[in-house]
Structure 1
Amino acid sequence: MLRSLRAGFAVLVVLAFSTSALARVTRVEVLSRTPLAADSSLGIPAYEKITARVYFAVNPANEHNRRIMDLNKAPRNAKGEVEFSADLYLLRPMSRSNEAMLLEIPNRGGKGMLSIVDGSKGDPASAADFGDGWLLKQGYTYAALGWQWDAPSGLRLYAPVAYDAGGKRITGLLRDDFTPFKAENEVPLGHIMGWRLGGTEYPVATPDDPRNVLTVRDTPHGQRTVIPRSEWSFAHTVDGKLTPSDRFLRLNTGFVPGKIYELVYVAQDPVVAGLGLAAVRDFASWVKHSPDAHSPDALAPVHSVYASGISQSGRFLRDLLYEGFNADENGKIALDGVLAHVAGGGRGDFNYRFAQPSRDAQPMASIDWPTDIFPFTDLPESNPAHPGDGKSGILDAAVREHVVPKIFFSHTSYEYWSRAASLIHTTADGKADVPISPNVRIYFFSGLQHFSVPFPPKMEDGDLLSQNLPSPLPIRWFWRAMIANMDRWVRDDRKPPASRYPKIADGTLVPVDQLTFPAIPGIKLPPDNAQGWEFDFGPGWRAGILSEQPPKVLYDYRALVPQVDADGNDLGGIALPEITVSLATYTGWNLRSPAIGAPTQRISFLGSFSPFPLKSGEPSKALDPRVPIAKRYESYTDYRVKFEQALGALVKERYILPEDAPQLLDRSKEEWDWITSPAHKQ
């Protein structure tokens, strides 16, 4: 084994240097190689775990790189190329490879696919950490590549800073907004998620600059109130001593929970963040097209690459397609398949000057970032905000260059309420359904929330403290089927299951004021849902420079929500048996707890879960309009028969894999016992 690993390392080094003429990976620095023994009981072959640093070089003059903001202002090597690097984590099968790579686009530096799909540990040390090993049993090579310069930890992109002529430093306005969930006096300048950094910060360049302005408001588009400069400072308390800091903001009277604070400040030294797009493109192209890519000891001998992205990284994949990064410098296709999950209608702050990729667009934070912006659909559409501009779509560049991958856009109920998901399949004014490309499938998973939580659910805490229990419906089984269906589509051209999502034409997609949600005690409807937006960030913003902060909001693209049935469950989607043979209501929204402020506003990421009454006449459910469980099902046996029938339909339609059906059926007993038990609080 040691001899084999040494030989593999030698070949790897040769491979890294010999392929630079054809792929923009110039070398790979292997940091560790760990053999992971096979597990015959689970059918998992032997794998090798590799951690590495991948080094790239791109030519600013190449037409496929010109969209990278400020690339022409980055330092160059002797060949006139811009160099950068990225962290790599890789699991490669030592035998029985299916010659396909699942390339995870990390979310804020973290890996999640192995845990979501297989129930494994994020960094398995042995076969015992692989969960049920479904992905690895198929023989996939799994990789995760850093693409985000501001990831606070984990897998990162290491990109250069841009400078004006003569090495002059570039400055500009930057914006930081946040909504506290508890009283605090000091916060970091980066993107705050759960009172921790979701993305590292640009420090303030000139603390006393009069352009540094702090405001507060109550609602996302409410009136801003300027906080006097004498009441706040750039400072941080260290060991009990208050000291100046270019990375922290301090408010003397303290930040109030539920208020939206927004700091506009002067920053300098913008990172060439768009190189993250080139990193994913060039790594995917390199593992497929380099001359020695299919030798037994190659880093990742694969023929096909399927990129998976969740939330932020799903939006990244939509942006990669829109920006034209699925063709490498030689015009070859990089990604054969794209699985962009819970991205809704969004893209993101990925390729602008002073880009902060961690910023998203939550109900009460990262508001009015260039996230949910036109275009939204895969096929070209007209922009009602600029009727004379002609049509455009997400796939225009890929179509022009003949590099359109197979694509799954999948989302949950949450994205219709808080990620403008409907705009990917309607006109931008929300008045009509639109067709989608033959290479695209749209899958709406009814009743799920942005991320899955275990059953039985419990209240989240911190900035996710909500009024109702979160939705506990699982995403794992859908993910496994999507990966299998994508592989068959790319490998054998076997068409995947049909798209399924709500539509205006059949009444399953409606404006929020037409929602017929039942009056369930204890559940309050949100006042609105997220829209797409037309912004003006100043005269250079279409070229990538956001000089006006905050931006002008010029137009709202009308996003719609799924209509519901008599129980309040969403119509028009792919429904687990928990929805079609239901014991509860599962929504795509939840409201903030009064304890964290702004209780009328939607909370980030969460849906709601509300079990039906057990039987008629329950005092606590006297006003509940939903039919009690005792009137729906004679017993668990009756319920199980109906559950199994609904599950069988999903398997037949290939939304669920046959081998996964028994696990969902087993879960039905756990759900029945908990929901029908008088011991739990409903």
Structure 2
Amino acid sequence: MHKHGLWAGLAFCAAALVARPAASAVERIEVTERTAFAPGVRFGAAGPYEKIKGVAWFALNPEDPRNAAVVDLKLAPRDARGRVVFSSPFILLRPVKALPTTLIYDVNNRGNIAILGQIDGRGAANNDPATAADAGDGFLMRHGFSLLFSAWTWDVAPPPPGVKPLVFDPPVAKGVTGPVENEFTVSAPTDVATYAGMRGLTYEPATPDDPAAVLTMRARPDDPRRPIDRALWKFLPAEQAGGPGRVTLQGGFKPGVIYELTYQAKDPRVTAAGLAGIRDLLSWMRDHPLEGAPPPRRILIFGISQSGRLIGRMLHDGLDVDEQGKLAFDGAYMQVPGAGGSAGFNSRFVQPTRHPSMLEEHDYPADAFPFTSTPARDPVSGLTASTLDKARDAQGHLPKLFVANTSTEFWNRGASLVATTPDGAADVPPADDVRLYAFMGAQHYVGRSPARAPYVNCVSTTDHYLAMRALILDLDRWVGGEAAPPTSAYPRLSDGTLTTVEAYRTTFPKGIGLSPPEQNLREPRLDFGSRFAAEGIADKVPPTHGLAYETRVPAPDADGNDRGGVRLVELQVPLGTHTSWNERAAETGFPWATARFDGSFQPFARTEAERAAAGDPRPSLQTRYPTRADLEAKLRAAAARQLAAGFLAPEDVERTVAENLGLYDRILAHDPADKSCRYLFP
């Protein structure tokens, strides 16, 4: 809220900020609000925080070689000076004390702020953080980080009331047409279905209710498509259907079917302008004081899942280097990007929300060779390349880079490819400025579901967010030259901790109530036509499929827990089997497929008598930990090892011990005949 006097002062400051180097791609910064963040709260030595909101205006030169990678930028409208102009809202949280800090830019995930949830433990998403509750436990604030958020994407579905996603309007290549593909499934029979991607939007047909549009169906991704008679279905106007991107079918849509809708669309958005906007906003922040505070001492960029893949695309395209040839950020943390995302976000008619997993969306450009940070050869194309070939600045420097996946990404997102050849035959070590981490037994996000549905098993209970907190500190120290980061820790072919699905199924223990999947995602090799690689223009939609990239999975130990990588406390001192896969329930229509993001947990038998009666080959809790004190001692020893290795912050030692002791107590108190999952969580 603004008083007139305060607003006048802010307007004066904003006007002062218009001054900039002539070559800057940031046209101006407008500050619209400056308020206390979490009023009355002091975050340790960092003290109180404030929130600054505003709008950043960008002016990209389409003729600048540093912008050449942005697909269709030259087709976007230009101002009188020949520049493509657009804007993005931003939010900055920083200490009130005017001291140089490390700035972390959080790439939002489908419009939602992510870092406050996964690092600070904040609850429900709030894209306009204001209160102490929005800070969670205040981890990032207590360590003195400034946090910056802005909009980069457009394809975010209309939110529920009160939710304010960070969304921007990118430039548009007016008058351009081309084919668009929309794959979708339904979880229950319905006459009306949404054909946009996950929580997303898509392009509407260039011709309303396009009579030439094609709707097909198939049971599995590789099955032949069967066309559905055009007279049986139609597009629905948004005002009639309750939102955009709806289609209706006589007889209804059914679970267990993959539907695909293709048609001609028009006016593609220049989506990668959002990536350039991130680059230029960070570059501006590096060189300019803002509202009385000096520029940050260093800049990190952080992204989870979709937003982690976006960082991968920025590096692949050289969009980490600004128009002056300088790095926009000093360090990057890509969390759960799977195979890295080097093919997404920057093509004509791209839908940023879409990406392949074991069941879904095998025809979308998200991942493609190269996958590794050091050069590798693709035996199919004959090309040799790395993801960082264009990422160096004018002096040859690279940002420091963490790439961290959970075991789930090895099953559903091709994560093994970031460290192997494309045929899965040999290890490829990371570059000197890159560290690879894999959180074993963990799922895409920390599970909290009290129900099995829509899956067969209870979800995994591992908490890799604690390791992520430590890695944030590790990356900051590495970038600052204060300490070396933890050694890369991920499954490898050379030591037998990375294996084939067939070998996994053979080794995985039998009779424990978990059935390993038949397959994992073999990353599709897609051919969109001759213009796609160089120009980002797809002429083949759907694309043709070539020989898939070969992917591998972590090898299991005798308990069924993953070997290699970062073995969290939960795996060093296990209370059961944590897998990174979960089976879909039969009622979903896809019982052969794994859950997209979730793993499984199957506790050990409580006593030897229960173990023998169940025929469970895994030693019981009674055998492993004769007393609770014995378990606690083992947990503390494991936590100490994680602390020494750099995968646990000192303040989180007691937390991980308490979390695991609490789970132990709940397992002992739970009747195994009760198949609910509620007992797994406090």
TM-score bracket for this pair, using the shorter chain length: over 0.9
Residue in 2 aligned with 1:147?
A: 152
Change (3 A) 1:505 1:157: same
1:182 pairs with 2:188: yes
Per-residue CA deviation, residues 153-179 of structure 1 (Å, 9 max, x unaligned), is: 51113212113xxxxx11111010012
1:13-52 aligned at under 5 Å gives the runs: 13-19=14-20, 21-36=22-37, 37-40=39-42, 45-52=47-54
Change (3 A) 1:142 1:584: same
The one-letter amino acid paired with 1:356 is Q
Shift of 1:296: 6.0
2:427 to 426, 433, 445: 433
Residue in 2 aligned with 1:170?
A: 176
Identity of aligned residues (%): 37
Large movers: runs of 4+ above 6 Å: 1-4
Tell whether the 8 Å contact from 2:238 to 2:245 is kept in structure 1 after alignment: no
Note the aligned Cα RMSD (angstroms).
2.3
Residue in 2 aligned with 1:125?
A: 130
1:258 pairs with 2:250: no
Instruction: Note the residue ranges of structure 2 that are not aligned, 5 or more in a row.
Output: 160-164, 676-682
Residue in 1 aligned with 2:659?
A: 667
Shift of 1:237: 9.0
- Which deviates more from structure 2 when the two are superposed, residues 357-366 or residues 633-642? 357-366
Partner Cα separation in structure 2 for residue 378 and residue 242 of structure 1: 46
Partner Cα separation in structure 2 for residue 96 and residue 636 of structure 1: 49
Residue in 2 aligned with 1:100?
A: 102
The one-letter amino acid paired with 2:445 is F
Shift of 1:248: 1.8
Partner Cα separation in structure 2 for residue 499 and residue 242 of structure 1: 50
The one-letter amino acid paired with 2:497 is T
Partner Cα separation in structure 1 for residue 613 and residue 359 of structure 2: 32
1:498-577 aligned at under 5 Å gives the runs: 498-515=487-504, 516-542=507-533, 543-577=535-569
1:256-405 aligned at under 5 Å gives the runs: 256-290=254-288, 293=289, 297-298=292-293, 301-347=295-341, 348-387=343-382, 389=383, 391-399=384-392, 401=394, 402-405=396-399
Per-residue CA deviation, residues 576-609 of structure 1 (Å, 9 max, x unaligned), is: 2211111111111111111211111111100111
Tell whether the 8 Å contact from 1:521 to 1:621 is kept in structure 2 after alignment: no
Residue in 1 aligned with 2:486?
A: 497
Partner Cα separation in structure 2 for residue 162 and residue 44 of structure 1: 46
Residue in 2 aligned with 1:166?
A: none
The one-letter amino acid paired with 1:72 is K
Q: Tell me the matched-pair count.
A: 658
The one-letter amino acid paired with 1:643 is L
Tell whether the 8 Å contact from 2:402 to 2:436 is kept in structure 1 after alignment: yes
Per-residue CA deviation, residues 15-55 of structure 1 (Å, 9 max, x unaligned), is: 53112524211122333322133524855522111222211
Shift of 1:476: 2.2
Tell whether the 8 Å contact from 1:501 to 1:573 is kept in structure 2 after alignment: yes
Partner Cα separation in structure 1 for residue 626 and residue 620 of structure 2: 11
Partner Cα separation in structure 1 for residue 357 and residue 494 of structure 2: 29
Change (3 A) 1:20 1:257: farther
Partner Cα separation in structure 1 for residue 425 and residue 228 of structure 2: 41
Partner Cα separation in structure 2 for residue 400 and residue 49 of structure 1: 32
Tell whether the 8 Å contact from 1:385 to 1:534 is kept in structure 2 after alignment: no
Partner Cα separation in structure 1 for residue 327 and residue 344 of structure 2: 24
Partner Cα separation in structure 2 for residue 59 and residue 68 of structure 1: 11
1:135 pairs with 2:140: yes
The one-letter amino acid paired with 2:350 is A
Residue in 1 aligned with 2:87?
A: 85
Partner Cα separation in structure 1 for residue 218 and residue 284 of structure 2: 49
Shift of 1:129: 4.1
Per-residue CA deviation, residues 234-263 of structure 1 (Å, 9 max, x unaligned), is: 12696xx789x9732111111111211111
Change (3 A) 1:97 1:185: farther
Change (3 A) 1:100 1:619: closer
The one-letter amino acid paired with 1:25 is V
- Which deviates more from structure 2 when the two are superposed, residues 4-13 or residues 207-216? 4-13
- Which deviates more from structure 2 when the two are superposed, residues 84-93 or residues 264-273? 84-93
Per-residue CA deviation, residues 437-461 of structure 1 (Å, 9 max, x unaligned), is: 110000111111001123xx52265
Tell whether the 8 Å contact from 2:287 to 2:295 is kept in structure 1 after alignment: no
Partner Cα separation in structure 2 for residue 478 and residue 21 of structure 1: 43
What's the secondary structure of 2:70's corresponding residue?
coil
TM-score, reference length from structure 1:
0.92
Tell whether the 8 Å contact from 1:31 to 1:53 is kept in structure 2 after alignment: yes
The one-letter amino acid paired with 1:517 is F
Shift of 1:301: 2.9
What's the secondary structure of 1:595's corresponding residue?
helix
2:610 to 613, 618, 623: 618
Partner Cα separation in structure 2 for residue 28 and residue 47 of structure 1: 21
1:598 pairs with 2:585: no
Tell whether the 8 Å contact from 1:23 to 1:289 is kept in structure 2 after alignment: no
Instruction: Note the residue ranges of structure 1 that are not aligned, 5 or more in a row.
Output: 164-168
Shift of 1:211: 4.1
- Which deviates more from structure 2 when the two are superposed, residues 330-339 or residues 534-543? 534-543
